[in-house]
A and B are shown apart, each in its own frame.
Chain A
Amino acid sequence: MARKDKSLLEQQIDENLRRVFQKETEKEIPDRFTQLLNQLKEQEAQHEQ
């Protein structure tokens, strides 16, 4: 039955993918990651002293 135009579908696929990905990237970064980066930095600073 009524098959959609292929290139239109491809555009829509990309649009959907971008929307989902964008949504994920807009989520707040949990503190655990910034804390982890700070910890790694501090460890190294101590190590170098």
Chain B
Amino acid sequence: MSSNTATADPRDEILEHLPSLRAFAVSLTRNSSSADDLVQDTIIKAWKNFGSYKQGTNLRAWLFTILRNTFYSARRKSKREVADVDGVMANSLSEKPAHDGRLQMADFEKAFAKLNDEQREALVLVGASGMTYEEAAETCGVATGTMKSRVNRARAKLIELMDIDQDEALEMTDAPTAAVVASSMMPRKTAI
């Protein structure tokens, strides 16, 4: 029970990074229970492989890398890409009303869901989690320049998608068409 370790265990810092690890996991899995399973696997792997972490380097980037690799290798195994997306991210996206000139959250949500994994990930790491391009590049194992262009392309794509959505929304008066488009854009479980 009582452990009196005089020196701080650097692994204790894992705890500090759990909130952002979870947020990153949610953005990848788009499902809160899968996200927590992913975080759990990440913690175990990080703990067991802590020897390969270089002290003094960026622990968050190191942890994010483990989480990311765990996610992609599991998905490669299952080969089912968006099977159980429950719209966690989408739900939290749509909660705030756009009354003050902000982007319409619904448009944003739809467009964001249409980005590919690479683009979504780049935007989450750099745009949302506040990582530098260098950190994000390290996390994804790519060159900094590659990360910069991914972020730029993702933003451009998002803008393009939202513009299209806005224009289409005005023209699309045909309800069945709109429904088909909407459901193809947001694969998620139906919930009332």
Contact = CB atoms under 8 A, between A and B. Distances in A.
B40 A10 contact: no
A33 B130 contact: no
Given A19-B96, A36-B40, A36-B43, A25 B23 contact: yes
Given A12-B103, A21-B129, A3 B163 contact: yes
Interface stretch (B11-19, B77-85, B134-142, B172-180): B11-19
A29 B130 contact: no
Contact of B40 (A6, A17, A21, A33): A33
Interface in B1-35: 3, 9, 11, 14-15, 18-20, 22-23, 26-27
A35 to B, nearest CB: 10
State the majority secondary structure of interface residues on A: helix
B159 A6 contact: yes
B165 interface: no
A36 B42 CA distance: 11
Contact of B162 (A9, A20, A25): A9
Interface string A10-22: 1011111111110
Given A1-B166, A20-B89, A24-B92, A40 B40 contact: no
Interface of B: 3, 9, 11, 14-15, 18-20, 22-23, 26-27, 36, 39-40, 43-44, 47, 89, 92-93, 96, 102-103, 105, 108, 123-124, 127-130, 155, 158-159, 162-163, 166-167, 170
Given A16-B93, A41-B3, 14 more contacts: A9-B159, A13-B155, A14-B127, A15-B102, A18-B128, A19-B96, A20-B93, A20-B128, A26-B19, A27-B22, A29-B22, A33-B43, A36-B40, A37-B43
